[in-house]
Amino acid sequence: MTARYTEALDRLSRVSGVAGALVVEARAGLPVAVDVASGVDSGAVAALAAAMYRGAQRAAETGGYEGVHTLQLEATTGHVVVAGAGEMLVIAVAERDAQLGLVRLETQRAAESLR
């Protein structure tokens, strides 16, 4: 794991309500760097988030938009926030009551630090 990935994950993991932070290779959906709480399946989150992001990119391009910067999944048990960082994705797994504005902002900042 490179120092840049470690720094990005450390910063994101310190946000209140974040149960996991990952850097994932966008095409394959494979985790490159992981910092998750016990009980978070990093492989499943990585694959889900990468597939959602790729699908959203295709839909955005079809609709005439240039690309996706940030994507958020809201589920009964929590949230997954994904931000593009070139060939990598930065993913935050957030608890249901997390401050989503802050989680999105820090996910975007982490992604910008990796571009």
pLDDT digits (tens, 9 = 90+) for 3-36: 899 999 999 999 999 999 999 999 999 999 999 9
Cα–Cα distance, 91 to 36 (Å, whole number): 11
17 CB burial (10 A radius; 0-12, 13-18, 19+): middle
Of the candidates 39, 42, 17, 31, the one whose C-alpha atom is nearest the C-alpha of residue 95 is 17
Q: Is 27 helix (H, G, I), strand (E, B) or coil?
A: coil
CB of 18 closer than 8 Å to CB of 98? yes
* pLDDT at position 43: 93
Cα–Cα distance, 34 to 73 (Å, whole number): 19
- Would the pLDDT of 101 be above 80? yes
Question: pLDDT tens digit string along 40-84?
Answer: 899 999 999 999 999 999 999 999 988 888 999 999 999 999 999
